[in-house]
């Protein structure tokens, strides 16, 4: 598949999705539709076991393309509802992808760009990166639900009310990202992590992603039961038996995805 706003590459069982809408990966309807299409496709692609979301531009994403807003108003009744639905679905397609997704964040991740980052399972950034929800600076107010899931109350609301930037080093200090690295080390680190994840049993990975997604909104008791049920289901797979046998024989497992 070829895309206007994305570039997709493969490295073994890892798919790399590059945001590629110069100069700053401002998200328009085309980019969002392509994000939904490509991440939905990974759900049915058994050859993909882990996904990396990165950028071909000098920043990860400067957020929404505000130049689209005047045109939306002119499209008539329902236009803003459709626009907002696509904004939500582009992030949800990443969040709900049945493969683990790693964000490799360089430069700015602003507004909807920060939203794409937080839709991923694991966050890694270069030390020139920063995040912000700057909607207040253009007379809008969005992102508080996201901010309050990531930060504590005071920091989240300060960012929401002021558009405050938070650097990658500060995100790392707060324990919110896996690493804050020199730019040239970002992709090697992320790809090594992605390959490690992709080396695990594919069925177990899919169940692990599902468990992480579903139990995050469950009460602890129900979440624990849900995970136990998954463990029971996995225990009967060929891959589980192979993993245990390989561990006893001190060799690398050979998974068949069943």
Residue 25 confidence (pLDDT):
97
pLDDT in tens, 101-110: 999 999 999 9
Q: Which residue has the tokens 């994000």?
A: 35
Mean pLDDT for the chain? Answer: 92
Q: Is the pLDDT of residue 68 over 80?
A: no
Residue 75: which pLDDT band, with cuts at 50, 70 and 90?
confident
Examine the pLDDT at 21 and tell me if it is beyond 90.
Answer: yes
Of 173, 205, 178, residue with least CA distance to 190: 178
Of 34-48, 131-145, 169-183, least confident by mean pLDDT is: 131-145
| Choice between 168 and 136, residue whose per-residue pLDDT is larger | 168
Residue 162, classed as helix, strand or coil, is: helix
| Residue 112: predicted pLDDT | 94
pTM greater than the 0.85 cutoff: yes
Sort 210 into a burial class: Cβ within 10 Å, 0-12 / 13-18 / 19+.
Answer: middle
Q: For 30-47, b where at least 16 C-beta lie within 10 A, e where not — what string?
A: ebbbbbbebbeebeeeee
CA–CA separation, 197 and 165 (whole Å): 31
Q: Which residue's entry shows tokens 């979440």? A: 223
Looking at the DSSP bridge assignments, the partners of residue 179 are none
pLDDT band at 66 (very low <50, low <70, confident <90, very high): confident
Q: Is pLDDT of 3 > 90? A: yes
Question: pLDDT band for position 78 (50/70/90)?
Answer: confident
Instruction: Judge if the upstream peptide bond of residue 82 is cis by omega within 30 degrees of 0.
Output: no
Mean pLDDT highest for which of 66-75, 84-93, 233-242?
84-93
Q: What is the pLDDT of residue 70?
A: 61
Per mean pLDDT, which of 82-96, 104-118, 128-142, 232-246 is the most reliable?
104-118
Mind listing the pLDDT tens digit for each residue in 197-214? 999 999 999 989 999 999
> Is the C-alpha dihedral spanning 64, 70, 71, 77 positive or negative?
positive
**pLDDT of amino acid 71:** 66
CB-count burial class (<10 Å; 0-12, 13-18, 19+) for 247: exposed
pLDDT band at 215 (very low <50, low <70, confident <90, very high): very high
CA-based end-to-end distance of the chain? 28
pLDDT score of 130? 98
């Amino acid at each position: 598949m070829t895309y206007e706003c994305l570039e997709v590459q493969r490295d073994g069982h890892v798919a790399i999705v590059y945001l590629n809408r110069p100069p700053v990966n401002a998200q328009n309807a085309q980019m969002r539709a392509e994000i939904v299409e490509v991440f939905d496709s990974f759900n049915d692609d058994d050859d993909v076991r882990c996904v990396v979301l990165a950028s071909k531009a000098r920043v990860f994403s400067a957020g929404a393309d505000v130049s689209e807003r005047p045109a939306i108003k002119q499209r008539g009744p329902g236009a803003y509802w459709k626009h907002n639905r696509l904004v939500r679905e582009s992030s949800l397609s990443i969040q709900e992808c049945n493969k683990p997704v790693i964000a490799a964040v360089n430069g700015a991740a602003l507004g909807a760009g920060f939203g794409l980052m937080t839709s991923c399972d694991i966050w890694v950034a270069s030390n020139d990166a920063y995040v912000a929800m700057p909607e207040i600076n253009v007379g809008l107010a969005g992102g508080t639900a996201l901010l309050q899931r990531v930060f504590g109350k005071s920091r989240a609301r300060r960012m929401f009310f002021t558009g405050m930037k938070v650097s990658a080093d500060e995100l790392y200090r707060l324990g919110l990202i896996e690493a804050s690295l020199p730019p040239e080390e970002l992709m090697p680190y992320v790809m090594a992590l992605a390959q490690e994840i992709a080396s695990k049993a594919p069925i177990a990975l899919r169940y692990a992603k599902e468990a992480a997604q579903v139990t995050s909104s469950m009460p602890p008791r129900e979440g624990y039961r849900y995970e136990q049920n998954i463990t029971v289901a996995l225990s009967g797979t060929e891959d589980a038996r192979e993993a245990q046998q390989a561990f006893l024989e001190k060799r690398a497992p050979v998974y068949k995805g069943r």
